[in-house]
Chains A and B, each alone.
Chain A
Amino acid sequence: GDSVTQMEGPVTLSEEACLTINCTYTATGYPSLFWYVQYPGEGLQLLLKATKADDKGSYKGFEATYRKETTSFHLEKGSVQVSDSAVYFCALRNTGGSYIPTFGRGTSLIVHP
């Protein structure tokens, strides 16, 4: 079945450092890929998405590129802020089978001033 694997956290960075959170997936067909973010005490919200190979999703400095050859969708940001501290979830929704999205376990990011 479909699965998503994220790097374990917490990831601890200083403000203005570069961020990479690794995400790889296993799926049949041609899934759509997502990154969701959960700020403390809140529900998840969409950060970015990509629907086909080589697409790049981006939002407010965050980027992720859909790499079909490596089955990856790593999240990157060039300069993190304290306000980016949150839990980040990678997810996929397989268009070739179930419409139920599959989530990774989440990666906690802590950014220090």
Chain B
Amino acid sequence: NAGVTQTPKFQVLKTGQSMTLQCAQDMNHEYMSWYRQDPGMGLRLIHYSVGAGITDQGEVPSGYNVSRSTTEDFPLRLLSAAPSQTSVYFCASRMGTSGSTDTQYFGPGTRLTVL
């Protein structure tokens, strides 16, 4: 298994540009999430999904959209990039919610800079 993969690894955008961060998992996990990581702020949840066709907002959803058309893929769209969105973005997935299935698996991250 490749686990959780993210592309691209690095990206530089200009203010106002849009782009999509890709996330895929091959573990047949139902739950997927997007986080951003900023210095001193830890991980903050942007959006999450509990299955194909179902998404919901996390702590900091403004400026981001998601969709979940398949179990495997969970792309994150930046609608109009702003310098405040400069961050490291992590995608994560897990199988379920019980004690044996609730471990989160993280991708390697996408480092985004908005100029």
Contact = CB atoms under 8 A, between A and B. Distances in A.
Partners in one complex: yes
Contacts of A95: 97, 99
B104 to A, nearest CB: 6
Given A99-B97, A100-B45, A105-B42, A49 B103 contact: yes
Nearest to B103: A46
Interface string B74-99: 00000000000000001010000101
Contacts of A101: 102, 104
A34 B33 CA distance: 17
Nearest to A95: B97
A34 B42 CA distance: 15
24 contacts: A32-B99, A32-B102, A34-B103, A42-B109, A43-B4, A43-B90, A43-B107, A43-B109, A44-B43, A44-B90, A44-B92, A44-B106, A45-B105, A46-B104, A46-B105, A89-B42, A93-B102, A99-B97, A99-B102, A100-B33, A100-B45, A103-B43, A105-B41, A106-B42
Given A46-B104, A105-B40, 19 more contacts: A32-B99, A34-B103, A36-B104, A36-B106, A42-B108, A42-B109, A43-B4, A43-B90, A43-B92, A43-B106, A44-B90, A46-B103, A49-B103, A93-B102, A99-B50, A99-B97, A103-B42, A105-B42, A106-B42
